[in-house]
Structure 1
Amino acid sequence: MTVLSACGGESRPTDRESLVVPGELLSSAAARQRGSELFARHCALCHGERADGQGVRRNLSARAVDFTDPYWRDSVTPRDVYLVIRDGKRGTPMPAWRILTPEQTWDLTAFVLGVSADPP
């Protein structure tokens, strides 16, 4: 079963409306810490160590999202972020991270949504 999950073979909701947002997890300091560790391992190369979009793509036309930008934070929902992490973003270099479990994806969502709320 683990192999199927790691390869994206596990059944997951595809309809954005059926995806249940775990509000308690998004506000959890523990979830944000786990998300921070996942971010450092999987996302910082492109999005920058401080999640500010200053990774390896900073000087290219298809720049990585700056998660510290409050405007970005106000323009997305937790569901949007989860689905982009899980499925990638068509037409951009953002890959699908289907190797992450749903809980890990929510942890990462909690982290990136919290970055713009943190004081500099």
Structure 2
Amino acid sequence: MPIITINLPAAIWENNGTLNDYTCLDSLKNKYGVYIFKNLARKEVLYIGEARSQTLKDRITQNFTEKDTGGTFRNSFMTQKKNFGDFKSLLENTQLIAITMEPNMLIRALESVLIHTQNPTYNTDK
């Protein structure tokens, strides 16, 4: 199970109405597995998710667009009456850790174990 670690750059966000820049996530194309958002400043695991039917890159990028309904991490954050600007601020010092594996049911099992042991702040299915 290879592990890919990416420090999320500020450049990922839209600038002047242009599209988000996801080139920092290119190493996750055509890969499946479990991903972890970790705030480096607070040393806090924010969210753990899985990508079984979508690639890691596709699944993760859903969290970076305000109007995309597939971003479970972002949606959990927003239900606490916060706005998208607050979400972007939270991710400014965040590391993305991806554990890549073949698309099968072991992905869900690994996600469950990690959620149970890491107790991420924004997973609602703990």
TM-score normalised by length of structure 2 = 0.32
**The structure with more helix, counted as a fraction of residues:** 1
**The structure with more strand, counted as a fraction of residues:** 2
